[in-house]
Amino acid sequence: MIRYVIVDDEPIAHRIIEKYCNDLPHLVKKGNCYNAFEAMGLLNEQQVDLLFLDINMPKLSGFDLLKTLPNPPKIIVTTAYKEFALEGYELNISDYLLKPFSFDRFVKAINKTLLTINKNSSNEVLPIQSPSKSHSFFIKGDKKYHQVHTEDILFIEAYGHYSKLYLKNEMILTNEKISAFEDLLSEDNFLRIHKSFIVNVDHIKLIEGNRISIYEHKIPIGQTYKNNIDNLYNS
């Protein structure tokens, strides 16, 4: 689970973020702070994985708080001021949300942060992460948000401006482009083998000629991606 804290001087911001977080089952609230000093105290007492951090707060700004933390958790900035984005990324924040932000945009920020936590944290922080570097993310399909565990993905197919995620027991059609999944998924387990296909290497049953077999599916290997397949033999 991801343990989060909201740091914002506006109560309505707390309510909105909490409402969004309540729809994502792997997020657990550890506290609400209404200024930077409250956050300092809480961070000294609690183990926290993620801060939702406002910038413009009384006495000490969100970025000033961040600069005082020797080992800060992951940071998602939530602010009405777009002009501080560059400074935020120089401070190694995970994402920068401009108020008011939609649930769709919030989920994208969480997915981005979840990926970095999975790569850098131990299983004590994220039980959903398996020893095989598995992780999960949320994807919108059929007007619902699906939590997808990477080990369940067989392959991903580009479908016009959409993508099809083929899982062990279902297929999800989403409006995310295949390039977004190439950035999101671990290079150790997923391989681009065609301009229209990314496969989960763990599920490859057979490679024969210019095709890969995954369960009953036959997936073509693109000529420009053949070196990716050759690297499997030599790894």
Give residue-wise pLDDT tens across range 118-164. Answer: 555 543 333 333 333 446 777 878 877 788 888 899 999 999 888 99
Q: What is the pLDDT of residue 115?
A: 76
Mean pLDDT within 34-49: 94
Q: What is the pLDDT of residue 167?
A: 95
Give residue-wise pLDDT tens across range 53-97. Answer: 999 998 899 999 999 999 999 999 999 999 999 999 999 999 999
Give residue-wise pLDDT tens across range 161-189. Answer: 889 999 988 999 988 888 878 767 755 68
Q: What is the pLDDT of residue 128?
A: 34
CA distances from 48 to 19, 27, 73, 94 (A): 19, 11, 6, 15
Taking the mean position of all CA atoms in its chain, how far away is CA 143? 19
Residues 6+ apart with CB under 8 A from 37: 59, 60
pTM: 0.58
Res. 45 pLDDT band, cuts 50 70 90? very high
Distance CA 106, CA 16 (A): 11
Q: Which domains does the chain have, with CATH numbers?
A: 2-120 (3.40.50.2300), 136-234 (2.40.50.1020)
Q: Give the pair of three-digit tokens for residue 205.
A: 């049953």
Q: What is the pLDDT of residue 119?
A: 54
Mean pLDDT within 206-212: 92
Rounded to the nearest integer, the mean pLDDT of the chain is: 86
Q: What is the pLDDT of residue 202?
A: 92
Give residue-wise pLDDT tens across range 12-27. Answer: 999 999 999 998 878 9
Res. 235 pLDDT band, cuts 50 70 90? low
